[in-house]
Amino acid sequence: MVCLAAPALSELSSLRHSEILALRKGMWEKVASRKHQAVKIFPFGPQSDECMLYGTVKYGLKAGGESGLDWAARAHLMKDDGRVKMDFYQVYLVSMSSSTRMPLTLSRTLAHKVNRLLGSGELLIRRNVRALLHIQREFSQNIFALQMGEVLV
Amino acid sequence: MSAYASQYPSIEFDAAYKKFFEEFYATSDTPSAHEKYIEHFTKDATLIMASKTAKGSDGMLSSASAVRAF
């Protein structure tokens, strides 16, 4: 629990860092691996401290399978005692997870597929099971993309 | 060339900044590098990650709560 009793500025700073720490640790609970690629970086003119970025990220899921997103970001850089740091960083999600509508539509499509499979008695049981497992995997990746939309680091 | 190298337009851009971005995303992808990740931000940095915002001291508390909710 966070202490609310008028913390000093330095304590707020450390709180902020612990907050980022919590966010990062949360990310790795579901993810076995991540690979970011800042494909193109667009500085705002020559010798600028500000950039827009276009990138991709691929996740290997602990539950199995992979997922990926496209992202964009705005970053402002500065030098703090000679060390480069960001004092502003905003991530924009530009794939399906940026909208709740798309994953919901996909979920509905998946539900429709399941209903159709359950209704088709002439299909071999083994084929049904394989198809259902495939749908289950799609579904879990879909839910994962929804969650990633909330916390992309 | 680093696996984390990016493409840039043909204008002058601080080489230290290019190196920073390469290190930042490499660190971001390293599971154990939590402390190192944090060092890429100034103490008073504004971070907006998708729908989560933390701006200055006021925003930190609300954002910390949002993180706990997740």
pLDDT exceeds 50 at position B64: no
Mean pLDDT for the stretch of residues A68-84: 93
CB A112 within 8 A of CB A94: no
Tell me the sheet residues that pair with B7: A40
pTM reported for the whole predicted model: 0.63
ipTM: 0.75
Domains of chain A: 9-150 (3.10.450)
Contact A151 B49 (CB under 8 A): yes
More confident position, B69 or B44? B44
Mean pLDDT for the stretch of residues A12-32: 68
Q: How far is A24 from chain B (nearest CA, A)?
A: 7
pLDDT value at residue A25: 72
pLDDT value at residue B66: 40
- Locus of tokens 């299909």: A123
CB A129 within 8 A of CB A118: no
More confident position, B51 or A95? B51
Q: What is A66-109 written as a DSSP string?
A: EEEEEEEEEEEEEEETTEEEEEEEEEEE-SGGG-SHHHHHHHHH
Share of residues in chain B with pLDDT > 70 (%): 69
Cα–Cα dist B6/A40, whole Å: 5
pLDDT value at residue B48: 81
CB A68 within 8 A of CB A56: yes
Interface test with B, best of A2, A9, A10, A19 (most B CBs within 10 A): A19
Which of A11-25, A117-131, B13-27 is the least confident region? A11-25
Q: Per-residue confidence at B57, pLDDT binned at 50, 70, 90? A: very low
CB atoms within 10 A of CB B41: 20
Mean pLDDT for the stretch of residues B46-64: 52
Mean pLDDT for the stretch of residues A125-144: 71
Comparing CB atoms, the residue among B18, B46, B49 nearest residue A152 is B49
Contact B50 A28 (CB under 8 A): no
Which positions ≥6 away from B14 have C-beta within 8 Å? A47, A77
pLDDT value at residue A101: 46
pLDDT exceeds 80 at position A53: yes
In order of A19, A45, A69, A114, B3, the CA distances from A96 in angstroms are 27, 31, 8, 22, 26
pLDDT exceeds 50 at position A80: yes
Q: How far is A108 from chain B (nearest CA, A)?
A: 24
- Locus of tokens 């204008």: B11
pLDDT exceeds 90 at position B19: yes
Mean pLDDT for the stretch of residues A60-77: 90
CB atoms within 10 A of CB A93: 22
Q: How far is A122 from chain B (nearest CA, A)?
A: 44
More confident position, B69 or A64? A64
